[in-house]
Chains A and B, each alone.
Chain A
């Protein structure tokens, strides 16, 4: 046996660290958008009736940007607890769709890993790990996922605290338009998907219905827009696939 045939496997720890850092690195661009979002959450907490400790605890245990904002908005108008919690549930229902997208790729992991990764499933991490999870070898991909999650999590919590402090120093900060950061971040995450007609149409349908359904109670417009967009996009995709199939059959018949 020649020397060349002996493969030297790198240590498992090294591979894991490399994956972890890769996940962290792929998440850093997204922090540019989520950091101002975390700061503004911190600044808005106390003016809207959530204590500083409550804001810190919410970022630690709930870790869901959009829901935390909506909760503040509802607290400000003295909404009852069950309504706030139900709204959180509805707003987060999109995560079931994210997890459905990933489920086949985590089923080999032990249950505690799945629980940790599920807790870390945010819009940003889902986008950041997308490329990694398209690759065929997913043996250590959960370390990549963990790297992305912890990067988001630590950043979110630090800047919630920074926001609380800044909010006390500059009370007028909530008018600076920092909320724009999350819109442009999400926009940047959407654009790479726009590579074919079904997706483009689905996104347009979603935008139009989100606007027209904006006044529906409990953010139902968001769900309505999402489901309609998905149905339209999926129908267009199914039609295109059917067309291709028929064309392929015709081609086959010609060749015979």
Chain B
């Protein structure tokens, strides 16, 4: 119990401090234009770094195959995203494809 309180307090400090530090000192520092340019790459790049291993190595090893339901469902979702350009459609198409591939086709 004490351990969990320590764990959660520590994780709170680790997440909140990172999220807050720049907001706290906002207005006291100015970011140069080049830095803003570089930061514009952050969201897609970081998100990709998070999902690439989940999708391409769901069982811990690289699995580049049409038998990999994580990969195939992501490709279908990406096609849906390029056609409809709508986030909700992408997510629903992706999740339905994944469920079909994994449970109906037992991939």
Q: Does A16 contact B (CB under 8 A)?
A: no
How distant is B26 from chain A, measured CB to nearest CB, in Å?
4
Interface centre among A30, A121, A206 (most CB of B within 10 A): A206
A74-92 interface code vs B (CB 8 A; 1 in, 0 out): 0100000110111011001
Complex Cα spacing A106 to B24, Å? 10
Complex Cα spacing A183 to B74, Å? 8
Picked from B39, B77, B86, the residue with its CB within 8 Å of the CB of A97 is B39
Q: Do residues A106 and B19 form an inter-chain contact, with CB atoms below 8 A?
A: no
Contacts of A226 in B (CB 8 A): 42, 45-46, 49
How distant is A140 from chain B, measured CB to nearest CB, in Å?
18
Q: Do residues B14 and A234 form an inter-chain contact, with CB atoms below 8 A?
A: no
Q: Do residues A184 and B94 form an inter-chain contact, with CB atoms below 8 A?
A: yes
- How many A residues touch B, CB cutoff 8 Å? 94
Name which of A6-14, A166-174, A208-216, A244-252 contacts chain B.
Answer: A208-216
Contacts of B65 in A (CB 8 A): none
How distant is A56 from chain B, measured CB to nearest CB, in Å?
10
Q: Do residues B70 and A180 form an inter-chain contact, with CB atoms below 8 A?
A: yes
How distant is A215 from chain B, measured CB to nearest CB, in Å?
9
**Total A-B contacts with CB atoms under 8 angstroms apart:** 265
Q: Does B106 contact A (CB under 8 A)?
A: no
Interface positions of A from 149 to 187, Cβ below 8 Å from B: 177, 179-187
Q: Do residues B52 and A211 form an inter-chain contact, with CB atoms below 8 A?
A: yes
Complex Cα spacing A123 to B90, Å? 17
**Closest chain A residue to B30, Cβ basis:** A104
Contacts of B8 in A (CB 8 A): 54, 57-58, 61-62
A residues sitting closer than 8 Å to B (CB atoms) are 28-30, 32-33, 36, 50-51, 53-54, 57-58, 61-64, 66-68, 71, 75, 81-82, 84-86, 88-89, 92-104, 106-108, 111, 114-115, 117-119, 121, 123, 126-127, 130, 177, 179-194, 198-199, 202-203, 206-211, 214, 221-222, 225-226, 229-231, 233-234, 237-238
Q: List 9 A-B contacts (CB under 8 A).
A: A32-B92, A33-B95, A71-B7, A115-B24, A187-B74, A188-B77, A190-B51, A211-B53, A238-B37
| Further contacts, 13 of them, CB under 8 A, given A127-B43, A190-B51, A231-B38 | A62-B8, A63-B15, A67-B14, A97-B42, A101-B36, A119-B19, A179-B54, A184-B74, A190-B43, A206-B52, A222-B49, A233-B41, A234-B41
B residues sitting closer than 8 Å to A (CB atoms) are 1, 3-4, 6-16, 18-24, 26-27, 31, 34-57, 62, 69-70, 73-74, 77-78, 81-82, 85-88, 90-92, 94-95, 98-99, 102
